Amino acid sequence: MSELSTTDPCALLTVRDVATWLKVHPKTVYGWASRQAIPALKVQGALRFRREDLTAFVESCRVTPPDRLAAPRPPRQSHQPDIPAVMARVKRLIQPSSNN
């Protein structure tokens, strides 16, 4: 990142600055900006980014909220069908009815 962008919180970041910070390829940053997935400004035809917009973008990408990280998930309960009951029902369905 450039010296100015790391020290001045109001400085606008370049595509290369953003790509380095987020550890992605610059083409990824261009793609996000063209799809408006990441807030960008155009200054004389060049893309620029505000640090606070990027921080909000990164937070919006969070997969698991922090309060849920500590709580383990309950074990999944498997459904075990009652095989004898299922077999009895199938037999009743396939046997010819004595009422006919």
HEC profile of the chain: CCHHHHHCCCCEECHHHHHHHHCCCHHHHHHHHHCCCCCCEEECCEEEEEHHHHHHHHHHCCCCCHHHHCCCCCCCCCCCCCHHHHHHHHHHHHCCCCCC
| Domain definitions of the chain by residue range | 1-62
- Position 15 scores a pLDDT of 96
In CATH, the architecture of 1-62 is: Orthogonal Bundle (1.10)
**What's this model's pTM, rounded to 2 decimal places?**
0.55
9 pLDDT more than 70:
no
- Position 42 scores a pLDDT of 93
Contact 49, 12 (CB under 8 A): yes
88 pLDDT more than 80:
yes
Which amino acid type is present at position 52? E
Give bridge partners of residue 50 from the DSSP assignment.
Answer: 12
46's tokens: 């060049």
Confidence of residue 3 (pLDDT cuts 50, 70, 90): very low
Instruction: For 12, list phi and psi in degrees, rounded to 5.
Output: -90, 135
The better pLDDT of the pair 61, 33 is held by 33
pLDDT digits (tens, 9 = 90+) for 14-48: 999 999 999 999 999 999 999 999 999 999 999 99
